[in-house]
Structure 1
């Protein structure tokens, strides 16, 4: 829609597109949380590191993503638009550079030291602390995040990649060997991008059932370690992950 105005928000034909984007931004903001952080433009990215021991973060992320998708879809279709396409993918990511984190720590220490020796007052200390930004060059969670790479490329392939929209597609690597009964899934979709050597099995999520699950999350969803073993096709992937942290 915004393309009709040449991506000029001041153009008369941009009015409806801007209203649609503002609604989208509001819904994404309403669903964002500490364990479901998002970045938003004319699309949105949500991300979370999975737990190597517990299945519950995997399940929680899926549920939150579904609820946001449903809210966006309802608002969009109620306004006469086709609705969104969402791709939930999993993958490895590199740890972010420490430079930004170290700089933030030194800045905070400087504020405390100057406050203690009387170099600045409490008001100035609060003002400096409030304006601190931990880093300017990276968003660590998205730095070399190959789950994001897979999700972005898969979404862009759309119908040609066997992922027509609007719909919510889930990377089947998050589930165990048996299909879970608490989520309505469409048939498996073998997706691939040969040029980038990316491949995955997706399925359309059509609904989630509310209900109680065992402590730690449903038994038919994988924790981060099991997901990593599946992606790497390596039962000893934990040793490789630990070695990578030290390098």
Structure 2
């Protein structure tokens, strides 16, 4: 759509594309929450969450939130005559990390607070200085070396050639411990792989979800984080490896 305007946002033909982009951002923002954080860049969005090693309710909650986001975007796109969006929900491991020591703006804020406490600046000046602080480096630790994100991104990018085509919602079947669940309707499984990167997964398109009468505490057929880790690695002792990784 924006290509018709030569990627010039000032061109009259770009108006619809920019309006579509803003509408997409608004929908993603409305679904974002503490337990469903998102990162948006242009016409793409990433939602992420660490799963519980004990309870499948977190897995279930993330799946439902993802489905609701996808469904609203699909409805919005259809109403405007647009083709829709594709969503891929994938499972994987991620590196533990934090942003401490990487963001220089944190030091600026500490300096402001210290000078305020010492009485070297007043409240008005502290607020004025804090408002002018602009980060020069940004990072979301949860998305660094996040191999669920890697898998989802590569699978989505493979498109129709990889079996992940159209404006559909594809889910990693590793999150389920049994087929034929009554509360979710899935299409035919897709044995997806990217040989060069050594990535593979079984996905299926989600055709419908009937979750409102289901108790989220113990959803039928959904794995918790530990069970998913065991499924991904084939290692029944993966919990020991995860505990050791925390010490690194």
Same fold by TM (over 0.5)?
Answer: yes
Q: Does 1:24 align with 2:24?
A: yes
Which TM-score applies when normalising by structure 1?
Answer: 0.90
2:182 aligned partner = 181
1:88 aligned partner = 89
Is 172-181 or 230-239 further displaced after alignment?
172-181
Q: Tell me, yes or no, if the aligned pair for 1:100 and 1:135 is still in contact at 8 Å.
A: no
CA distance in 2, matches of 1:84, 1:90: 20
Structure 2: any 5+ residue segments left out of the alignment? none
Q: Tell me, yes or no, if the aligned pair for 2:60 and 2:216 is still in contact at 8 Å.
A: no
Cα distance, 1:3 vs. partner? 2.3
Structure 1: any 5+ residue segments left out of the alignment? none
2:6 aligned partner = 6
Q: Tell me, yes or no, if the aligned pair for 1:84 and 1:167 is still in contact at 8 Å.
A: yes
CA distance in 1, matches of 2:36, 2:115: 36
Q: Tell me, yes or no, if the aligned pair for 1:179 and 1:220 is still in contact at 8 Å.
A: no
Q: Does 1:232 align with 2:229?
A: no
CA distance in 1, matches of 2:149, 2:106: 28
CA distance in 2, matches of 1:134, 1:167: 36
Cα distance, 1:91 vs. partner? 0.7
Cα distance, 1:33 vs. partner? 1.0
Q: Does 1:39 align with 2:39?
A: yes
1:163 aligned partner = 164
Q: Tell me, yes or no, if the aligned pair for 1:188 and 1:202 is still in contact at 8 Å.
A: yes
Cα distance change on mapping 1:205 and 1:97 into 2, 3 Å: same
Cα distance, 1:94 vs. partner? 0.6
Is 4-13 or 20-29 further displaced after alignment?
4-13
Cα distance, 1:135 vs. partner? 8.4
CA distance in 1, matches of 2:139, 2:189: 35
